[in-house]
Structure 1
Amino acid sequence: MHSLYWLTNVRLDSGFEEDEDGVVHTRSELCHLKVENGKIEDIRPASLPLDTDLPRYDAKELLALPSFVEKHNHLDKTYMGYKWKSCKPVNGLIERLNFEAKESLVLLDSVKTRAMAMLSLISAAGSTHIRTHVNIDPHVGLKNLEGVREALEAFSDKLTYEIVAFPQHGLLRTQSVALMRQAMKEGATLVGGLDPAGVDENIEHSLSQMMEIAVEADADVDIHLHDGSLLGLHTMKRLAAMTEEAGWQNRMAISHAFALGDVPVEQASEMIDRFAELGIQIMSTVPINRAMPPIPLLHEKDVMVALGCDGFYDSWAPYGGGEVLDKANRLAERCRWIDERSLTEALTFITGGKTTLDRNGNRLWPQIGDEASLVLVEATCSAETIARRSKRTAVLFKGKLAHGSL
């Protein structure tokens, strides 16, 4: 595609309207978008003549949505690129970790190939940004990081990325502090952590070591916290305190955060207020086999929530196809969001906070000056896309075609 062109006959959400039965519907309109150097520089109604000598690419009335953001993934773990393989049942987390450690040595030479196979799926499904966790431990050293970096660099014309150095087998349990520090010098962009109580069995020391690495590297943090109930809540309180002490406001994320869904809502609400105060984000995979954080309450209190597919099709689980849209659909179903406004707003959890309309029906996206990273979808509106997991026909990344055809 050219660097300057018109994307014509694009369907955009344009507002809400209510019928005689009180049911809300989304209005849409056809527009032409002028794309220049990766940005949307003009938006015109398709009903008006377009007098231009610039190249045109016809969207054929497909709906445009902001491209998706995959915020929790494990590119180094996937079996993608291999023939079908289901998982070995285990008895508990530690047995799973031990099995993964053994298997990771067998998979070590194919990290880049497998990561690229997964990235192909993720890109085709509409994502133009990914945050991936990469195992850093004595079993694999920095080999997984090297392979994932090479895969991501090969996809740099299709997406942007963040790499979390992740001590999957325990920061203290496997004495991985030095390796983590080295990873931050060799391409990792965020510091990860894992269950300071359940895995490392020392909340204070595990968290303090993680924060020290982050401060030294001047890097944001994303910690996996599976520990539930009061144990998990206590860990969150200590993490919040350390976040404030280090001045790491707006630089902390907690993946999973199951404890918020285990404790009484009053306790969860108090913790969520603290997260909002400190700018601590929540990354969720929308699990179906256990309680999860109260995402509607988090959203109501302005805590940033983002969704991800996690490590689909690996030694942990055989499910999933790299489509973060599936997670938004599952979230909407779990939260019983069945009306037009709620379904439209659900888009925000898979786009880095973007949605097409506010609750009054005013257009929020696209605006002139926005990056031309978008997905063209076979749907009439955002709400239908979330509810029906509509087919994505083409993906643009900074104005260039990343997947599909026009």
Structure 2
Amino acid sequence: MVINDVRPWGGARSDVEVRGDRIAAVRPHSPGPATVEGRGRLLFPAFSDVHVHLDSTRIGLPFRPHTGGPGVVAMMTNDRENWRTAEVPLPERVAGTLERMIAHGTTRVRSYAQVDVDCELEKLDAVLAAREKFADQAEVQVMAFAQAGILREPGTLDVLDAAMRSGATVIGGIDPCTLDRDPKGHLDAVFGLAEKHQAEIDIHLHEPGHLGLFSTDLVIERVRALDMRGKVTMSHAYDLGSISESVSRRVIDDFAALDIAMTTVAPSAAGQLSLLDLVASGVRIGLGEDGQRDYWSPYGNCDLLDRTWQLAFTRGFRQDAHIELALAVATMGGASIMSHDVPRLAGVSDRPGLAVGDRADLVLVDGETPTSAVMDRGRDRTVVHDGVVVADGLSVVKR
């Protein structure tokens, strides 16, 4: 494949040659035949959505008023009361949402799948089916996630175990103190399942201030004691920066030393750890859209470029270098969480993913500069996965 007349990370006009699933050459642009016409568009690595709940999506369905109450339990109850009565079956909703994500440029996905005594493996099966349907268009990791807690409802741990045997590759935990109110028991269950199934861990953390720090320190202790470096991700954790500068520095240093990753959905919370400091210190950090217009929230539109704008906006970024960093987090930052063959971002100015030898997961977007692409979020896009065009003009290429 030859992709002609593109500007990698907004640089000089270039022609990119792809052999198999890898970039084979990047040369100055010259007239000649091409497989994909770049037309001067920007070239970025494809997006990596590493925090999305495909299992609860309402993308493509009629808009409905938000009916959830405050807090995780109230939201969970709202989801349970409504998800079975949606206008189309769950597998169709999940597959349609994943298809729309690919069409907008996301080729790496880490999705939660709710498993509990209410839905058992029904939501997991829908996500696994979508993963199989689009196996040639995107790489999808599936996380078994008991969003209602692991210890609150008898039988949940058994369902989680069954989910890991059924094809999930990541085990999820959530708010060890405030939800299950037994941080030791909760983390014993999560880390025990991870050891049993040789799986990675992702901890949803909404807990505030010192309580969130307490739960985080328990995770840090276990990662260190069990030598689970590079196998744990903290998601949300949006209040860990609220206590003091010295605490923030210590947490960031621990995350970097133990290779504990972080994912963010770009909230407007004031107490977040500094994205600039996290990247500068070598912490793996990725971006996700969270819910997709579901029973938890009306937000989400399957476009991670749109969420990249939100990340830059909520972090107060104005400098081009910082807005480009948001793009690096949304692309190769998330990729480095899904595969440790992908190195962490090397610093605030690192713009990886488009060098010879890199995986040919790419997105072409119209725009003047990387910053303008984030601001304008153009719709003239072509998406490449493993060296094959999988979407063009916001539609997946049918095969």
TM over 0.5: yes
Is 1:124 aligned to residue 107 of structure 2? no
Of the three residues 5, 9, 18, the one matched with 1:9 is 5
CA 1:107–1:206 in structure 2 vs 1: closer, same or farther (change >3 Å)? Answer: farther
CA contact (8 A) 2:205 2:237 kept: yes
What is the one-letter code of the residue matched to 1:182? A
Is 1:323 aligned to residue 303 of structure 2? yes
Structure 2 unmatched runs, 5+ = 336-342
Out of 73-82 and 294-303, give the one that drifted further: 294-303
* Residue number in structure 2 paired with 1:368: 356
Task: Tell me which structure has the larger Cα radius of gyration.
Answer: 1
Say how many residue pairs are matched: 384
1:284 is displaced (CA, Å) by 0.6
1:91 is displaced (CA, Å) by 4.2
CA 1:219–1:342 in structure 2 vs 1: closer, same or farther (change >3 Å)? Answer: same
The root-mean-square deviation of aligned C-alpha atoms, in Å, is: 2.4
What is the one-letter code of the residue matched to 1:96? M
Of the three residues 304, 313, 316, the one matched with 2:293 is 313
Taking the TM superposition and a 5 Å limit, the aligned residue runs for 1:256-335 are 256-288=236-268, 291-335=271-315
1:346 is displaced (CA, Å) by 2.2
Measured in 1, the distance between the counterparts of 2:181 and 2:298 equals 29
What is the one-letter code of the residue matched to 2:385? F
- What are the Cα deviations for residues 120-174 of structure 1, in whole angstroms up to 9, with x where unaligned? 2211221101000000100010111111111111111211011010011101112
CA contact (8 A) 1:41 1:368 kept: yes
Of the three residues 355, 363, 368, the one matched with 1:380 is 368
1:392 is displaced (CA, Å) by 4.3
CA contact (8 A) 2:328 2:351 kept: no
Taking the TM superposition and a 5 Å limit, the aligned residue runs for 1:3-402 are 5-13=1-9, 28-47=11-30, 50=32, 56-106=35-85, 110-175=89-154, 176-288=156-268, 291-353=271-333, 364-402=352-390
What is the one-letter code of the residue matched to 2:235? S
- What are the Cα deviations for residues 258-295 of structure 1, in whole angstroms up to 9, with x where unaligned? 23133222212211211111110111111125643322
Measured in 2, the distance between the counterparts of 1:199 and 1:350 equals 29
1:382 is displaced (CA, Å) by 2.0
Runs of 4+ in 1 over 4 A off after TM superposition: 357-365
Q: Secondary structure at the match of 2:65?
A: coil
Out of 226-235 and 330-339, give the one that drifted further: 330-339
CA contact (8 A) 1:346 1:386 kept: no
Measured in 2, the distance between the counterparts of 1:264 and 1:358 equals 26
Measured in 2, the distance between the counterparts of 1:100 and 1:363 equals 39
The alignment-based identity, stated in percent, is 27
CA contact (8 A) 2:281 2:347 kept: no
- What are the Cα deviations for residues 22-44 of structure 1, in whole angstroms up to 9, with x where unaligned? xxxx6x32222222212221222
Measured in 2, the distance between the counterparts of 1:210 and 1:359 equals 32
CA 1:169–1:32 in structure 2 vs 1: closer, same or farther (change >3 Å)? Answer: same
CA contact (8 A) 1:137 1:167 kept: yes
CA contact (8 A) 1:165 1:188 kept: yes
CA 1:179–1:360 in structure 2 vs 1: closer, same or farther (change >3 Å)? Answer: closer
Measured in 2, the distance between the counterparts of 1:98 and 1:390 equals 38
Out of 77-86 and 311-320, give the one that drifted further: 77-86
* Residue number in structure 2 paired with 1:20: none
1:358 is displaced (CA, Å) by 8.5
CA contact (8 A) 1:105 1:140 kept: no
Measured in 1, the distance between the counterparts of 2:320 and 2:388 equals 31
CA 1:70–1:60 in structure 2 vs 1: closer, same or farther (change >3 Å)? Answer: same
Measured in 2, the distance between the counterparts of 1:259 and 1:380 equals 36
CA contact (8 A) 1:79 1:85 kept: no
Structure 1 unmatched runs, 5+ = 14-25
Measured in 1, the distance between the counterparts of 2:384 and 2:94 equals 21
1:112 is displaced (CA, Å) by 1.1
Q: Secondary structure at the match of 1:385?
A: helix
What is the one-letter code of the residue matched to 1:9? D
Q: Secondary structure at the match of 1:401?
A: strand
CA contact (8 A) 1:375 1:392 kept: no
What is the one-letter code of the residue matched to 1:95? A
CA contact (8 A) 1:124 1:403 kept: yes
1:362 is displaced (CA, Å) by 8.8
1:240 is displaced (CA, Å) by 0.6
Measured in 1, the distance between the counterparts of 2:165 and 2:120 equals 14
1:6 is displaced (CA, Å) by 1.7
Measured in 2, the distance between the counterparts of 1:228 and 1:362 equals 31
